């Protein structure tokens, strides 16, 4: 099963989280754009503003980052942590998405 991003999760991951993920991978915006099949201008918009009309694009970026070993973790207080899994520990199997509560819900 292919990893997919729940709609609520795409609203929790903000532009600052995408920038942090790119920094962990040492990826320029162009690499994220190419890996997620998005234009460079779309990646810039994703990182610069929280436009709800970009949720499909945000999900594509999250999936590309996930494939590269990035994990976004929603903490108990609703904040989001960004982590990098070493390449040797990335599972070869596809990871099913789990429902993650919307930002601010408990």
CA atoms within 13 A on the CB side of 77: 2
pLDDT tens per residue across span 41-100 = 999 999 998 776 778 899 999 999 999 999 999 888 888 999 998 866 655 544 444 444
The answer to whether residue 62 is domain-embedded is: yes
Asked whether 64 and 4 are in contact (CB, 8 A), the reply is: no
Domains in the chain: how many in total?
1
The answer to whether residue 30 is domain-embedded is: yes
CATH number (domain holding residue 14): 1.10.260.40
Which bin fits 22, alpha (ψ -120 to 50), beta or left (φ > 0)? alpha
CA distance 17 to 25: 12
The answer to whether residue 20 is domain-embedded is: yes
pTM: 0.75
């Amino acid at each position: 099963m292919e990893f997919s991003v729940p709609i609520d999760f795409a609203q929790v991951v903000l532009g600052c989280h995408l920038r942090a993920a790119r920094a962990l991978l040492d990826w320029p915006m162009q690499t994220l754009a190419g890996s997620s099949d998005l234009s460079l201008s779309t990646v810039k918009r994703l990182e610069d503003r929280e436009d709800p009309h970009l949720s499909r694009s945000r999900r594509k970026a999250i999936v590309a980052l996930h494939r590269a070993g990035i994990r976004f973790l929603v903490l108990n207080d609703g904040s989001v942590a960004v982590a990098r899994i070493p390449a040797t520990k990335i599972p070869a199997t596809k990871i099913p998405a789990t429902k993650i509560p919307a930002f601010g819900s408990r």
